[in-house]
Amino acid sequence: MNSSSVHSTDFVYKYKTLSVGHLNELQQDIDKLKREGKLSDHKTYRSYLSDKKFEIPESLPNARSLIALAIFTEPMLINFHLNGAKHEVMLPHQYYASGLTEEILRDIMLKEIVKESGHKIEKATQVHLKLLAVRSGLGRYGRNNLCYVEGMGSLLKLFAYFTDHQFEVNNWTEIRMMDGCEDCKICMSQCPSKCITEEIL
């Protein structure tokens, strides 16, 4: 199934689907980074990744597809008053109650994406979401390694679901950095810890 942008209550979402036949290749992308020593060994960082694996969940052994979903919610603008001056600060939706619930996500998945009745979905909590989004063609990496989705920028939340529904279109895509990042180095010059490199993907 191809990407679609639908407005549902206060959210805008886009999605792409991939066959579970690509799970091994997705895992190999990560294993290759590890082998080449490109993943930080820092134990806190590794702890974030320790449960992540591209594999069919035991709770849905007949899973056929993975759905990558990007949700954009308007950021909240808050005013801080400091020494008589007002400072407007943008708060992404991870940090305020945007109203997005698990039930809304399940409804989007079942009623608007899977559509055919009788199918199951299972939230994929252990996959690498940016990689899945990029490999499914939903988004592209920015030089800063965040995932950008056309029309949404990077201020979005990614989710993934397994389903036993087989979609007709398989969207396997090469890993690429956004064209707009090739000549732009603004994030590089602003990164306080100098983590962003000249490297082009």
Binding-site ranges for ligand B12 (CB under 6 A): 29, 33, 39, 45, 48-49, 92, 94, 128-131, 141, 143, 145-147, 154, 156-158, 175, 177, 199, 201
Name the residue type at position 197.
Answer: T
- Where is 158: in which H helix or E strand? strand 157-163
Q: Residues 55-91, buried b or exposed e (16+ Cβ, 10 A)?
A: ebeeebeebbbbbbbbbbbeeeeeeeeeeeeeeeeee
> Rounded to the nearest whole angstrom, what is the least distance from the CB of residue 4 to ligand B12 in the complex?
19
Residue 147 C-beta: closest distance to ligand B12, Å? 3
User: From the CB of 115, what's the least distance to ligand B12, in Å?
Assistant: 24
**How many whole angstroms separate alpha carbon 75 and alpha carbon 154?**
12
* Least distance in angstroms from the C-beta of 34 to ligand B12: 9
Nearer to ligand B12, 14 or 128 (CB): 128
What is d(CA 66, CA 136) in angstroms, rounded to the nearest whole number?
9
**CB closer to ligand B12 out of 36 and 103:** 36
As measured in angstroms, the least distance from the Cβ of 121 to ligand B12 is 17
Q: Which residues contact 42 (CB under 8 A, 6 or more apart)?
A: none
**Residues 182, 140: Cα–Cα separation, whole Å:** 13
For ligand B12, which is the closer residue by CB, 6 or 191? 191
C-beta closer to ligand B12: residue 100 or 129: 129
* Closest to ligand B12 by CB, 72 or 167: 72
Show Cβ contacts of residue 180 under 8 Å, excluding neighbours closer than 6 positions. none
Q: How far is the CB of 168 from ligand B12 (least distance, A)?
A: 27
User: Nearer Cβ to ligand B12, position 62 or 125?
Assistant: 125
Q: Give the contacts of 179 (CB within 8 A, at least 6 positions apart).
A: none
Return the structure tokens found at 142.
């920015």
